[in-house]
C-alpha cells in the first residue's frame, strides 16, 4: 500500500511541475500522462484483460466529475446568448459527426455496419476539460462569443455520445426491437434531464439553508451531490452524464457561500480526474496493438478533423447566419478528442462484444494525436483565422469571474513610446 501511495503522490507532484512546463512549450500536460501510463502498462500486458472492469468503474467516476465541472465552471450569463447554437452542436452536431465517421469506416475502411457506427459514436464528442484548460492557461480571448460556444458545446456533448454508444452496444447484443431503441433514447434523455432539474432544485435548497461550521464540508456536500446526480438517473435508466451536467450548471450559477472558491477546487479535482483517465488509458493499451492500429487511427483522425467535424459544424451553425466562415473553421478545429472517448472505449472493452477491429487501441491513437496536434495548435489556428481578440477576457466565460467586485487590480507596462 505504501508503495502505491508513493507512486500516486509522485504522479501528482509531476503533474504540478509538468503543467507549468507544458504551458511554455505548448504541449498539453495530459499527453505526458498518456505516455507515462503506456510506459508503465507495457510492463504488464495482462493488465487490460485482468483489471478492465476496475478501470472502467474508476474512469466512469472520473468522468462524472469532469461532466459536473463542465457545467459548474460555465458562467450562464456568457453562455446564454449562444445556448441554442451550443445545444444543437452538442446533439445534432454529435449525431452528424458519428454518422459521417460511421459511413466513412464502412465504405472506406470496409468495416461492418454496426462496428462502423459504434466507432463513430465513441469518438463523436469533444473534450471539455482540455478546451477549458487551454483557453484559461493561454488567456485566449476569442471574437464573436467563440469561447463560450466552444465551452458549452464541449461541456454538454458527452451525454449524446454516451447515448449513441449505449444504443450501438444494445444492437450488438441483439434481441432489441425498434421500439426498445426508441424507449432507450427517450428514457436516457427524459429521465436524465428530469433528474438533473429535480436534484439541482433540491441541492440549491440545501446549499442556501445549511450553514457549515467547518471549512471543507461544503465541498464534501457538493461532491456527494455530483455523485448522486449521476447515480440516480443511471439507476432508473436515464443519462447520468446529462444529469450531472445540468446539476453542475445550475449550482455553478447559483449564489451560495464559497461558490467561487469551489470552482477552483473543482478545477483541481477535474485535472486530477483527467490525469487518472489518461494514465489508465496508457496502462490498458498494449504497444503491439497500438502499432497495428496506428494507420487506421490516423486515417479516421484526418477524416474526422478535415471532413466530419467541419461538415457537422457547418451543417448546424450555417442556419443561424451569424457565424463567418473563419469562425466556423476555428470551431471545427477545436474539436479535441479526450476523456469521454476514452471512457466510452473502455466501456466497449469491458462489454464483452466481439469486434473485428481493436476500437480501444484506435481511440487511443486518435486521442493521442488529437491532444498532441490539435491541442498545441489551437492558439496558432486562432491567430491564423483572425479570431483572437486581445480586448476579450476569456475568464468572463467561467463562473468564478468577479465583475461586481468593488475594486480590482491590474498591471500594465509603460514603455518610452507609450502615449
Top-confidence residue, 254 or 97: 97
Residue 412 covered by a domain: no
Residue 233 covered by a domain: yes
Query: pLDDT-derived band of residue 309, with 50, 70 and 90 as boundaries?
Result: very high
Query: What is the CB-side half-sphere exposure of residue 355 using CA atoms within 13 A?
Result: 24
| Stretch 384-404: mean pLDDT | 72
d(CA 84, CA 349): 35
Residue 302 covered by a domain: yes
pTM for this model (two decimals): 0.85
| Stretch 76-105: mean pLDDT | 94
Total domain count for the chain? 1
Asked whether the predicted pLDDT for residue 361 surpasses 60, the reply is yes
Asked whether the predicted pLDDT for residue 49 surpasses 60, the reply is no
Residue 228 covered by a domain: yes
Residues 6+ apart with CB under 8 A from 301: 365, 366, 369, 370
The pLDDT score that the predictor gives to residue 221 is: 87
- Catalogue the E-assigned strands of 271-364: none
Residue 265 covered by a domain: yes
Collapsed DSSP state (helix, strand, coil) of residue 398: strand
Asked whether the predicted pLDDT for residue 48 surpasses 60, the reply is no
CATH number of the domain to which 163 belongs: 1.20.1530.20
The pLDDT score that the predictor gives to residue 26 is: 46
Asked whether the predicted pLDDT for residue 45 surpasses 60, the reply is no
The boundaries of the domain holding residue 186 are: 67-389
Residue 415 covered by a domain: no
Residue 410 covered by a domain: no
Residues 6+ apart with CB under 8 A from 211: none
d(CA 139, CA 132): 10
Which residue, 271, 86, 227, 229, is CA-closest to 160? 86
Neighbouring CB atoms inside 10 A of 400's CB total: 17
Cα-based distances in Å from 241 to 66, 67, 193, 228: 9, 6, 10, 11
| Stretch 269-287: mean pLDDT | 80
Query: H/E element holding 26?
Result: none
Contact status, residue 293 vs residue 345, Cβ threshold 8 Å: no
Residue 415 DSSP class: P
The pLDDT score that the predictor gives to residue 314 is: 96
| Stretch 50-61: mean pLDDT | 74
- At 147-198, the pLDDT tens digits run 889 989 998 999 999 999 999 998 987 767 788 888 989 999 999 999 999 9
- Average pLDDT taken over every residue of the chain: 84
d(CA 329, CA 338): 20
d(CA 346, CA 299): 21
Task: Render 347-394 in DSSP notation, one character per residue.
Answer: HHHHH----SS-HHHHHHHHHHHIIIIIIHHHHHHHHHTT-B-TT--G
How many residues are recorded in the chain? Answer: 419
The pLDDT score that the predictor gives to residue 289 is: 85
The pLDDT score that the predictor gives to residue 114 is: 93
Residue 21 covered by a domain: no
Residues 6+ apart with CB under 8 A from 93: 153, 157, 312, 313, 315, 316
Amino acid at each position: 500500500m505504501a508503495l502505491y501511495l508513493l507512486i500516486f503522490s509522485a504522479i501528482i507532484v509531476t503533474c504540478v511541475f509538468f503543467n507549468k512546463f507544458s504551458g511554455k512549450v505548448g504541449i498539453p500536460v495530459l499527453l505526458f500522462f498518456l505516455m507515462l501510463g503506456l510506459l508503465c502498462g507495457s510492463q504488464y500486458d495482462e493488465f487490460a484483460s485482468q483489471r478492465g472492469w476496475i478501470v472502467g468503474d474508476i474512469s466512469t467516476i472520473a468522468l462524472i466529475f469532469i461532466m459536473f465541472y463542465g457545467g459548474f465552471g460555465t458562467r450562464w450569463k456568457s453562455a446564454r446568448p449562444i445556448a441554442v447554437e451550443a445545444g444543437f452542436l452538442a446533439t445534432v452536431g454529435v449525431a452528424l459527426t458519428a454518422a459521417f465517421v460511421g459511413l466513412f469506416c464502412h465504405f472506406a475502411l470496409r468495416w461492418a455496419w454496426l462496428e462502423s457506427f459504434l466507432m463513430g459514436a465513441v469518438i463523436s464528442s469533444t473534450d471539455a476539460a482540455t478546451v477549458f484548460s487551454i483557453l484559461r492557461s493561454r488567456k485566449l480571448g476569442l471574437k464573436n462569443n467563440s469561447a463560450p460556444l466552444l465551452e458549452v458545446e464541449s461541456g454538454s456533448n458527452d451525454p449524446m455520445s454516451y447515448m449513441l454508444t449505449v444504443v450501438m452496444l444494445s444492437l450488438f447484443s441483439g434481441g432489441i426491437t425498434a421500439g426498445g431503441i426508441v424507449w432507450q433514447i427517450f428514457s436516457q434523455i427524459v429521465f436524465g434531464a428530469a433528474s438533473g432539474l429535480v436534484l439541482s432544485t433540491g441541492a440549491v435548497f440545501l446549499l442556501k439553508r445549511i450553514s457549515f461550521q467547518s471549512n471543507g464540508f461544503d465541498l464534501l456536500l457538493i461532491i456527494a451531490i455530483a455523485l448522486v446526480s449521476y447515480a440516480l438517473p443511471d439507476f432508473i435508466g436515464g443519462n447520468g452524464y446529462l444529469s450531472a451536467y445540468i446539476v453542475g450548471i445550475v449550482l455553478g450559477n447559483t449564489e451560495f457561500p464559497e461558490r467561487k472558491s469551489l470552482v477552483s477546487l473543482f478545477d483541481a479535482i477535474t485535472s486530477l480526474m483527467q490525469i487518472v483517465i489518461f494514465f489508465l488509458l496508457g496502462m490498458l493499451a498494449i504497444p503491439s496493438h497500438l502499432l497495428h492500429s496506428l494507420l487506421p487511427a490516423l486515417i479516421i483522425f484526418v477524416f474526422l478533423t478535415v471532413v466530419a467535424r467541419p461538415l457537422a459544424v457547418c451543417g448546424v451553425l450555417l442556419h443561424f447566419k451569424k457565424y463567418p466562415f473563419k469562425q466556423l473553421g476555428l470551431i471545427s478545429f477545436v474539436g479535441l478528442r479526450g476523456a469521454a472517448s476514452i471512457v466510452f472505449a473502455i466501456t466497449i472493452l469491458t462489454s464483452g462484444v466481439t469486434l473485428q477491429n481493436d476500437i480501444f487501441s484506435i481511440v487511443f491513437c486518435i486521442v493521442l494525436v488529437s491532444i498532441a496536434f490539435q491541442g498545441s495548435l489551437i492558439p496558432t489556428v486562432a491567430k491564423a483565422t483572425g479570431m483572437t481578440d486581445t480586448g476579450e477576457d476569456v475568464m468572463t466565460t467561467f463562473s468564478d469571474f468577479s465583475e461586481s467586485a468593488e475594486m480590482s487590480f491590474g498591471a500594465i507596462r509603460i514603455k518610452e513610446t507609450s502615449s
